[in-house]
């Protein structure tokens, strides 16, 4: 199914692409193992922790987040959930786009089919993979070997759900100061070419150019422009699991050192694809979720927020992206808000 401009007509100006530079496939299983050991946060917040870097957000950070609201503008970063979503073709991991159906409708109501119940109403339900659209990965989503975040046995996520590191543990934690890093605008374009690998230096340089500081406990949202390119083309193509711009493996270090609460992207999987590894699929994931314990947001819709930040040069905001507390889930669909 073709992609659809989800909210407003997209302009017809040709989008300017930032070309990728060559990247090497240097990330062997050995490199992953050493990086994991080096950057592990296991035990940092005690042996019973299940929320990882969200611990970096404390009362002070929350109060500060509220201060970001100066103009009274709210932006939804959630892509519409419907059959026009990015799960096209076979659907990685058997994911599919949301299926929405009615239990009762206005047409039933007007036809008098509900009048015996003395109220005219519509009601509905949905079937959806929890990571089919704008989403959080729970810390139980990715494993390293036989373990997950904080050293828990991966088998604690069985067919009945996650007994540890489920998304419901983060139910009151997904709020804080948000920062947008708009990489293609910083580089003078509209979107990064698929395969463009963002480096630590570029993250820092972008923040500096934007006049914004990345702080401990921040929800860092990185724009690549890939989603907007797909929407403008009316075709998701290989957006889900195919080639994509994204973070280089070296940014594991950046994430660890910055002590941010979460990292979010407008792509399917945050990291550059093709990956810098032939031995692992999404090697950056192997580290950041199970070893660093960072919460990851994916498939964020950033067009409107990015345009506003470019216009007023304010790249910080209050961020609030509460997950659905689905017990034992390893992800959650969300509609994150950025409020300036």
- Please list every residue from 10 through 49 that binds a second copy, using CB under 8 A: none
Among 39, 156, 209, 238, binds a second copy (CB under 8 A): 156
**CA 325 to CA 162: how far, in whole Å?**
12
Among 19, 21, 34, 113, binds a second copy (CB under 8 A): 113
Report the nearest approach of a second copy to the CB of residue 130 (Å).
Answer: 5
Q: How many residues bind a second copy (CB under 8 A)?
A: 112
Q: What is the 3-state secondary structure (H, E, C) of 178-221?
A: EEEEEHHHHCCCCEECCCCEECHHHHHHHHHHHCCCCCCCCEEE
Question: How many residues can be counted in the chain?
Answer: 340
CA distances from 157 to 54, 128, 153, 163, 328 (A): 21, 19, 8, 6, 8
**CA 278 to CA 301: how far, in whole Å?**
30
Report the nearest approach of a second copy to the CB of residue 76 (Å).
Answer: 4
**CA 5 to CA 234: how far, in whole Å?**
7
Token duo for residue 96: 């599919």
For tokens 């870097």, the residue is: 53
Among 90, 211, 234, 312, binds a second copy (CB under 8 A): 90
Among 55, 105, 199, 200, binds a second copy (CB under 8 A): 105
Q: Does 140 bind a second copy (CB under 8 A)?
A: yes
Region of 19-27, 130-138, 232-240, 307-315 interacting with a second copy (CB under 8 A): 130-138
Among 175, 198, 221, 291, binds a second copy (CB under 8 A): 175
Of 61 and 253, the one with the shorter C-beta distance to a second copy is: 61
Q: Does 104 bind a second copy (CB under 8 A)?
A: yes
Of 117 and 188, the one with the shorter C-beta distance to a second copy is: 117
Q: Which of residues 231-270 bind a second copy (CB under 8 A)?
A: none
Region of 98-106, 177-185, 206-214, 224-232 interacting with a second copy (CB under 8 A): 98-106
**229: CB partners within 8 A, 6+ apart:** 15, 17, 190, 191
CB count, 10 Å around CB of 280? 18
For the window 297-326, what string marks contact with a second copy as x by the rule CB under 8 A? ---------------------x-xxxxxxx
CA distances from 286 to 29, 32, 40, 46, 273 (A): 10, 8, 11, 21, 15
Among 38, 70, 208, 257, binds a second copy (CB under 8 A): 70
Region of 12-20, 153-161, 202-210, 223-231 interacting with a second copy (CB under 8 A): 153-161
């Amino acid at each position: 199914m073709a992609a659809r401009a989800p909210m407003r007509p997209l302009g017809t100006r040709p989008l300017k692409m930032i070309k990728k530079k060559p990247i090497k496939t240097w990330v062997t299983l050995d490199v992953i193992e050493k990086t994991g050991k080096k950057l592990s946060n296991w035990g940092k917040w005690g042996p019973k922790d299940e929320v990882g870097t969200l611990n970096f957000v404390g009362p002070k950070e929350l109060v500060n987040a509220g201060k970001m609201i100066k103009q009274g503008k709210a932006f939804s970063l959630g892509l519409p959930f419907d059959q026009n979503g990015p799960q096209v073709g076979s659907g990685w991991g058997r994911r599919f786009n949301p299926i929405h159906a009615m239990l009762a409708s206005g047409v039933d109501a007007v036809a008098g089919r509900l009048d015996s119940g003395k109220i005219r109403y519509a009601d509905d339900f949905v079937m959806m993979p929890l990571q089919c659209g704008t989403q959080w990965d729970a810390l139980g989503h990715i494993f390293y070997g036989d373990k997950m975040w904080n050293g828990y046995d991966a088998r604690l996520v069985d067919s009945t759900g996650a007994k540890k590191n489920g998304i419901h543990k983060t139910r009151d934690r997904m709020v804080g100061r948000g920062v947008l890093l708009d990489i293609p605008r910083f580089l003078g374009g509209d979107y990064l070419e698929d395969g463009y690998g963002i480096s630590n230096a570029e993250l820092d340089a972008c923040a500096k150019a934007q006049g914004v500081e990345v702080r401990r406990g921040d929800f860092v949202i990185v724009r690549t422009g890939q989603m907007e390119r797909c929407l403008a083309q009316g075709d998701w193509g290989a957006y889900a699991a195919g080639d994509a711009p994204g973070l280089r493996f070296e940014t594991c270090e950046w994430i660890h050192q910055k002590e941010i609460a979460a990292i979010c992207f407008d792509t399917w999987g945050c990291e550059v694809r093709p990956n810098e590894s032939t031995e692992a699929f999404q090697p950056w994931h192997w580290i950041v979720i199970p070893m660093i314990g960072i919460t990851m947001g994916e498939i964020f819709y950033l067009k409107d927020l990015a345009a506003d930040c470019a216009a007023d040069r304010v790249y910080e905001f209050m961020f609030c992206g509460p997950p659905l507390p689905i017990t034992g889930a390893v992800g959650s669909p969300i509609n994150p808000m950025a409020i300036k």
